[in-house]
Structure 1
């Protein structure tokens, strides 16, 4: 991995230590707001993004920062993902509801996109100190307990009844929601951590076989999609078979450990 990868990894650890972990299980009255129904933001989200934004922009000349909370304040900033200039996608605290509830399943996610192509990705899990990184064409890596190993998704089970998956259907059109929920009733185990940072890294590590999504905001999916792919997995639209790209904003997408698992599950979804 490049020196840039190390610099961003260090920034993620630092922002977690300064702005996120001191507020974990210590949120006060007024520290949490509801942006829209069921969509929450905390002071940790906002302060972490404000801390990261100028530091990331300074790392790559001419780059822009596309942060979740900045887009919440000004929707027009989402158009940055269409730029050919370097763009950083930032989710300062993914899994905010878990963070608010005191659950450890939350993460910081960053990616660097140039010309619509993801070049580098990072997912940091502050509660455990674990870090996933990926470089386009250079593999994906997992750092835990001071040791770094190459990530490999491995192969999913042959039988759908042995599949372990997370099924996010909240934003799906009724037709796809019914199909995916029908599929969920036939797999071995449903394991949804309600956190893209955890779900993507779980697939990359071979701990989960599949995840489904529909709303594809860049900060939620650009980092994890590169990490999963570089580990051997697949992220693809079930409706048209197209590979996910950063400029795609809607699904239905299926994340899978390998090609065979993607095809098997996608076929089952179309039959349900």
Structure 2
């Protein structure tokens, strides 16, 4: 796909091809299974099977057009003309969805606010991208990094504050050793940011130029961040179906059943009132 062309078909197909099969297309296929299989398992475990199918079709059918349009606008902004030999944005989007699946796990175990957790994850990924690849002048890079760092710290703090203490205590009670329990539960949230760090520096290439090919890390990270955001927007919290007595705070064990004797007493009171 050329950055100066508006070929709608190329917007879609460029995300499913690569010129170099052994070094680019094959690793992309493997990365796809590395992302999608755990994503399906996580969401199935969390009773979010419908969310998986929504994300699958969105990332495969809609995300390619979004990422292609963003790339064209970015090239116009940077005033560059280039030809893409294939994008890896879909894989990155599924990795982002996998991050959100872990956010849902935190929500299930600790009742964390998923919006705060997702935003903190997105800003953290953007911060890593800025610090790793930015070629802007030092003042601009520092300013952007400072803004992203502030946003990340703010939403990470809000995420930590949203943890339900009762749920946290119940989770700790399941582990017999108190020290191990406290350490394990307290590390659940930091592990979210460790995952993002490992994905960013372990899966996404830090070396942009490989041979005569320039790796489009911008699309890698854009797909990753948008994958988190899309999953958050598509997720619908499951409303608990409470019984009527629970909803009104009535203890059903203390409620006396209505008998025929009660019916007779009620009839006598009605006759007296007349």
TM-score surpassing 0.5?
Answer: no
TM-score by length of 1: 0.26
TM-score by length of 2: 0.25
More helix by share: 2
More strand by share: 1
Q: Which has the higher contact order (CA 8 A, sep 6+)?
A: 2
Q: Which has the larger radius of gyration?
A: 2
